[in-house]
Every structure is written in structure tokens, then in C-alpha cells.
Structure 1
């Protein structure tokens, strides 16, 4: 696992909607805007599955995800890649449901997508664009 820096965590917390990318086992990509994307540790992200169809199908076939982090209040931008597990019961699932339902009472909160961060890449324009950012644990 890879731990985000304090600057990355601050940037993550300032973003309201995250482009989240998945791909089927055949490599067919899908990108969706996700509002319920929460950093729950230095190396773990929770994504609430409210209305996922293609993304959830992709994650079942290919449990990998990429999350783009950028907003007008961030310094630069970066891409997080990670391994996914899909959780539909237990303490973490219930905690996610409480958080989601407190913000949007009609949300189905069907499953919790747990992302263990494996790599982080720079998206800032310039010579380092696309480079892997060395992190603790890599």
C-alpha cells in the first residue's frame, strides 16, 4: 500500500466530485463522476456505490480503479490507482451507509468500494506529467 502525503490529502479533501475510472476484463474503459469518495486513511479510500452499473460490473471483473484528483483549490493534480474490494455488509459498510444517508437520505448506498492505494501519478502539465510519484511503501 501507498500513503498519501499531507499535501495530497489536503487536495483530496478540497475536491467535491471525482472522476473515477474502471475497465472491464477486456479493457473497455468507463469513467464516472463520484461525489461520495472519502479518504478514510493515508492509504485507503471509500467510494459509495449508489448508482453504479458499468463501474460495478467492471470492478467485479477487474478490481482496479483510477481516481483523478484536481480542483480549482488544489495545487497541481494527481491520479491515484488502487486495488478494490466490494463490501456489502459489516461495520465499515454500515458506517458508509450512515455517512451517505446523512447527506442524501434517498441514496441507496448499495455497496462500499474500498480502494487500497497502490500508486500515485502526477497529472500536472510539464516534463513530469504522467510520472509516478515516489511514496512511502513503494
Structure 2
């Protein structure tokens, strides 16, 4: 399985908000900002479902997602692709829900996306843009 490097974990954690892209079964895209996010392990990213409508509908039809990692304080630019499942129970969900509600007590924290990383690409401008790096 593809794993995040320490540099990629640092870049991901430096961002308060990440853009999460999904598409429905017909390929119609949706990009939504996500603030309740966590790295469960180097192969897995968690994103809390607080107000997802199109995102969850898309995941049910087409369980793939992409995350764009770039911003102030980030060295480089990365796109992370993964296979997604939805969970709303279990130890991992309850732990992430508790963490999310401690930071954002006003959100419902009703479920989470579990993104198993499949590919990582660079998106830095230049001849290597779009190349797979992991």
C-alpha cells in the first residue's frame, strides 16, 4: 500500500483546510473544503462528515477521492488519491468523533470517510508536474 512520507504528513498537518474532490458515477465532480481531518496512519486519512451531502452521495456511487495539499507553510504541492469507505460506528470513528467535537463542538460529527491512499502525485509547476511520486 502507498504510504505518506514524514514530509507529506507534515504538509498535510500544516493545512487547516483541505480541498477534497469526489465525482459521481457519471463523473460530475465535487470539491469541498474539509477542516475535520486526521491521519490515522501513513496509509489512511480520515475526514469527518459534518455537512457532507454531495460528497457522501458521490462516495456511495464512486468510492474514490482526491485531496489537494498546498498552501502557506507547505513545501511542495501534492495530490493524494484514495479508495474511500464510510463509517459511522466503531472504535476508530468514536475516537475521531471525540477529537473533532473537542475542537469543533458545534458540528454533528455523524460519520467519517476512511481514505486508503492509492497514489500520490506532485503538482509543483514544471516538467515533473503530475508525476507519481509514491
TM > 0.5: yes
Runs (5+) with no aligned partner, structure 2: none
Q: TM-score, normalised by structure 1?
A: 0.95
Pairing 1:39–2:46 present: no
Match of 2:74 in 1: 74
Gaps of 5+ in 1: none
Q: Distance in 1 between matches of 2:111 and 2:73?
A: 30
Note if 1:130 corresponds to 2:123.
Answer: no
Question: TM (normalized to structure 2)?
Answer: 0.97
Residue aligned with 1:26, SS: coil
Show the counterpart of 1:54: 54
* 4+ aligned runs moved over 6 Å, structure 1: none
Q: C-alpha separation between the residues in 2 aligned to 1:131 and 1:90?
A: 36
Q: CA deviation at 1:71?
A: 1.2
Q: Which residue of 1 aligns with 2:14?
A: 14
RMSD: 0.7
Distance 1:55 1:80 in 2: 16
Question: 1:75, CA displacement in angstroms?
Answer: 0.8
SS of the residue 1:127 aligns to = coil
Give yes or no for the alignment of 1:107 onto 2:98: no
Q: CA deviation at 1:78?
A: 0.3
Aligned residues: 134
Deviation string, structure 1 residues 26-63 (Cα, Å, up to 9, x no partner): 10000000001211211110000000000110001000
Instruction: State the alpha-carbon separation in 2 of the partners of residues 106 and 48 from structure 1.
Output: 13
Looking at structure 1, the residues matched to 13 and 129 of structure 2 have their Cα atoms a distance apart, in angstroms, of 22
- Spell out, residue by residue over 1:69-90, the C-alpha distance to the aligned partner (whole angstroms, 9 max, x if none): 0111011110000000100111
Distance 1:6 1:102 in 2: 26
